[in-house]
Amino acid sequence: MAEPRHILAIDQGTTSTRSIVFDAEARVVATAQREFAQHYPAQGWVEHEPEDIWRDVLATAREAIAEAGLTAAGIAAIGITNQRETTLLWDRATGEPLHRAIVWQDRRTADACERLKKAGHEALVRARTGLLIDPYFSATKLAWLLDHVEGARERAERGELAFGTVDSFLLWRMTGGRVHATDATNASRTMLFDIHRQEWSRELIALFAIPASLLPEVRDSSEIVGHCDAGLFGAPIPIAGMAGDQQAALVGQGCFDPGSAKATYGTGCFMLLNTGERPVASVNRLLTTTAYRIDGETSYAVEGSIFVAGAAIKWLRDGLGLITHASQTDDMATRVEDNGGVYMVPAFVGLGAPHWDAHARGLICGLTLGTSAAHVARAALESVGYQTADLITAMIDDGAAKPALLRVDGGMSANDWLCQFLADILELPVERPANLETTALGAAFLAGMAVGLWDGRAGVAALTRQAARFEPAGDPDTRAALLAGWRQALARALGRQVSE
Ligand SMILES: Nc1ncnc2c1ncn2[C@@H]1O[C@H](COP(=O)(O)OP(=O)(O)O)[C@@H](O)[C@H]1O
Ligand SMILES: O=P(O)(O)OC[C@H](O)CO
């Protein structure tokens, strides 16, 4: 029988689960997608039902394999990529979760984080993990589960339970409970992992009071970690790639060289700059993280997370009723000569990197009687450019090399006006790939490399195809004036500027 030459990538995201089959030329052969329920049991709490996630992973994977006209025998390997930081705890004997997953957006541990910061633990956390103390990461979510689910801590101490991010949970289920592992990128988001030594940090495990028996083994992002149960898809397919979704997008964009960068514009925006073997410690409150670990070698990235990008456009549509389709903003922004002095700071949920101001709130300023809906739409798109510019400035100030170009992806990157504005304001060429599903592609690359379908990083990078390139064209004076306008607007939005 012919060697299998397709890869199944499973992309388990925050709002939907996608399974995509790629062929040996990295072309999409079949896609299946399902949205699933979000649970908001209290203000600032966000949960997912693990069984929903598992159900959709199985259903979309089976659907994609069938739509590709294949059977499991035609799949050389599976790659898993996932929403990061989301925290699960389950029973090792039955595989039953003890609670719903606590999602990365969940803020229930904000007070616990404040206490840790006040007690002076941030320097240690930063030094070991490259992260800030924030409810975003898994450690305080796991501690919350141990303290709030009846009997959980005692059972954990007896070794009966397993902790994992979504990748680990899926791996556990797919291997029928035989493999409890995660990859180095996902481990790096738990706030328990020493990214320099690439092992769980004993000091942090003690600080967060986490029983060590809960923790998964940490594997490379590209290696065979197990085989799925034959019963699931009809044959025991190797699971050969795992990475958090933003790191997978970096791989899917072929950003393997130090200095290469990608920004994914979806609901929010996550920008990662590859810094190679060198972890860059940020003084500008960016995150240092594992970009990928291949053949035991770790590459690092600096990451800037913007909470609101496409969500600002969604708000124009659903909150203001200014547009009916997100894509209309492209024409609207083109229609006006300039921004008319209008700026939007989309701090709807505070501001992420590099400001990390939970108390900042959104604003639109510079309004006159001449302001039109098009100006507001343009201001929303521009705000995404300015926030990206702030990230790049912070990265360079941290000592990272300025990237030669920025690769973009995610739903919002379909907007040509935005891509040109990014090129102008960043003074960088912006490239957009043919396939915007770079996250799934990255997971496929990691899995395909591990089973020898593709020849290492150079082999997969050669398979990435850019469909559009936007050259910087703005004049320096206009750029400086726009950035000055943004900084003024930003100062008004920052929570710490507001006197009681
Ligand atoms: N053409 C467009 N112009 C501007 N924003 C867009 C466009 N198309 C989609 N968006 C925005 O992008 C987001 C969807 O992107 P997607 O990558 O699917 O997000 P996520 O994976 O975070 O759910 C939405 O917030 C939407 O408002
Ligand atoms: O699932 P996404 O695409 O919203 O990504 C979520 C990030 O991994 C959170 O860190």
Which contiguous run of DSSP H or E holds residue 157?
helix 152-157
Q: Is residue 43 part of a domain?
A: yes
Note down the domain range covering 190.
6-246
Q: Is residue 325 part of a domain?
A: no
Nearest protein CA to atom 3 of ligand 2, as residue: 13
Q: What is the pLDDT of residues 81-138, one digit of tens each?
A: 999 999 999 999 999 999 999 999 888 898 899 899 999 999 999 999 999 998 889 9
Q: Is residue 358 part of a domain?
A: no
Residue 326 CB less than 6 A away from ligand 1: yes
Q: Is residue 354 part of a domain?
A: no
Could you tell me the maximum CA-CA distance found in the chain, to the nearest angstrom?
74
Tokens 């939970």 map to which residue? 358
Q: What is the pLDDT of residues 435-491, one digit of tens each?
A: 888 999 999 999 999 999 999 999 999 999 889 999 999 899 999 999 999 999 999
Whole-number Å distance between alpha carbons of 330 and 321: 16
Could you tell me the pTM of the whole model?
0.92
Q: Quote the ligand 1 centre to 466 CA distance (angstroms).
A: 19
Whole-number Å distance between alpha carbons of 237 and 21: 13
Q: What is the pLDDT of residues 381-417, one digit of tens each?
A: 999 999 999 999 998 888 877 899 999 999 899 999 9
The two beta strands, 75-82 and 238-244, are: parallel
Count how many domains the chain has.
1
Nearest protein CA to atom 21 of ligand 1, as residue: 266
Q: Is residue 210 part of a domain?
A: yes
The binding-site residues of ligand 2, defined as CB within 6 angstroms of any ligand atom, are 13-14, 83-85, 104, 244-246, 266-267
pLDDT at position 29 is 96
Q: Quote the ligand 1 centre to 330 CA distance (angstroms).
A: 12
Tokens 């959980």 map to which residue? 152
Q: Which ligand is nearest to the CA of 11?
A: 2
Residue 313 CB less than 6 A away from ligand 1: yes
- Which residues make beta-bridge pairs with 292? 299
Cα angle value 356/359/363 (rounded, 5°): 100
Whole-number Å distance between alpha carbons of 352 and 360: 10
Q: Quote the ligand 2 centre to 262 CA distance (angstroms).
A: 14
Within 8 A by CB and 6+ apart from 458, the residues are none
- Three-state DSSP state, 88: strand
Whole-number Å distance between alpha carbons of 468 and 140: 42
Binding residues for glycerol: 84-85, 136, 245-246
Substitution candidate for ligand 1 out of 38, 81, 84, 412 with most atoms within 8 A of CB: 412
Q: Which ligand is nearest to the CA of 384?
A: 1
CATH number at residue 136: 3.30.420.40
Q: Which ligand is nearest to the CA of 346?
A: 1
Q: Quote the ligand 2 centre to 265 CA distance (angstroms).
A: 11
Q: Quote the ligand 1 centre to 168 CA distance (angstroms).
A: 28
Does the structure show a pLDDT above 90 at 425? yes
- Length of the chain in residues, anyone? 500
Residue 266 CB less than 6 A away from ligand 1: yes
Q: Is residue 263 part of a domain?
A: no
Q: Is residue 128 part of a domain?
A: yes
The two beta strands, 269-276 and 297-306, are: antiparallel
Atom of ligand 1 nearest to the CA of 15: 23
Read off the DSSP letter of residue 420. Answer: H
Q: Quote the ligand 2 centre to 291 CA distance (angstroms).
A: 15
Q: Is residue 110 part of a domain?
A: yes
Q: Which ligand is nearest to the CA of 324?
A: 1
Whole-number Å distance between alpha carbons of 79 and 276: 23
Does the structure show a pLDDT above 90 at 285? no
Taking residue 135's Cβ as centre, other Cβ atoms within 10 Å add up to 24
Whole-number Å distance between alpha carbons of 356 and 134: 10
Looking at this predicted complex, what is its ipTM?
0.97
- Tell me which amino acid residue 198 is: Q
Q: What is the pLDDT of residues 46-89, one digit of tens each?
A: 899 999 999 999 999 999 999 999 999 999 999 999 999 999 99
Mean pLDDT of all residues in 352-378: 91
Share of the chain above pLDDT 70, in %: 99
Q: What is the pLDDT of residues 205-233, one digit of tens each?
A: 999 999 999 999 999 999 999 999 999 99
CB 241 within 8 A of CB 221: yes
Substitution candidate for ligand 2 out of 86, 102, 104 with most atoms within 8 A of CB: 104
Nearest protein CA to atom 4 of ligand 2, as residue: 14
Residue 33 CB less than 6 A away from ligand 1: no
- Identify the band that residue 499 occupies on the pLDDT scale cut at 50, 70 and 90: very low
Q: Which ligand is nearest to the CA of 12?
A: 2
Atom of ligand 1 nearest to the CA of 410: 17
Q: Which residues of 405-414 are buried (b: 16+ CB within 10 A; e: fewer)?
A: bbbbbbbbbb
- List, in sequence order, every beta strand (DSSP E) within 92-212: 101-102, 161-164, 181-183, 193-194, 199-200
